[in-house]
Amino acid sequence: MSKLIPFFFLLLFVGFSNVKAQSKFTTGDNELDNSIAVVTKYSRSNMVAFQDAIIGKYNITNEQAQTYTAKLSGGDLLMVFEIASALNKTKEEITDFYTANRVKKNWLEIIKELGIKDKAFETIKSKVVNNGIV
């Protein structure tokens, strides 16, 4: 019986850790979160097609597409590109900011920290949800 108590606490800790990890990458908007997940799943199963799509859509080179997809998942990449466009920043600036913060902060916190307000958020959301890639 005494061996089961530490095991129980370990299971509890792992369970709570997984719940926190799963909720870590949310934007606070279910439709946008679902789109990010769909694009990520698509990019993982169709990487070449995904890279070709972002090359055309975001005016980047093949080498840049490979570099970006090595750093970020498909859905996160669309978020980064659309945020960069909305804030009139470079893709590299937003990529660097996101990669430096993504372990500690979810998308909602990052969006707020970047100063993205309602109208800009809706524009970003619309472009990610209606991405034309998937």
Residue 107 lies in a domain: yes
SS3 71: helix
Residue 37 lies in domain: 25-129
**pLDDT of 96 over the 90 cut:** yes
d(CA 85, CA 100): 19
Residue 99 lies in a domain: yes
Number of domains in the chain: 1
Residue 12 lies in a domain: no
Residue 16 lies in a domain: no
Nearest to 67 by CA among 85, 84, 83, 55: 55
Residues 48-93 have pLDDT tens digits of 999 999 999 999 999 999 999 999 999 999 999 999 999 999 999 9
H helices, E strands: number in the chain = 8, 0
**pLDDT of 43 over the 90 cut:** yes
How sure is the predictor about 25, in pLDDT bands with cuts at 50, 70 and 90? low
**pLDDT of 14 over the 90 cut:** no
How sure is the predictor about 26, in pLDDT bands with cuts at 50, 70 and 90? confident
What is the average pLDDT across 104-131? Answer: 94
Residue 58 lies in a domain: yes
d(CA 71, CA 49): 17
How sure is the predictor about 3, in pLDDT bands with cuts at 50, 70 and 90? low
Helices (H), 24-90: 30-45, 47-58, 62-71, 74-87
Longest dimension (CA), the chain: 63
Computed from CA positions of residues 53, 50, 66, 84, in that sequence, does the dihedral angle turn out positive or negative? Answer: positive
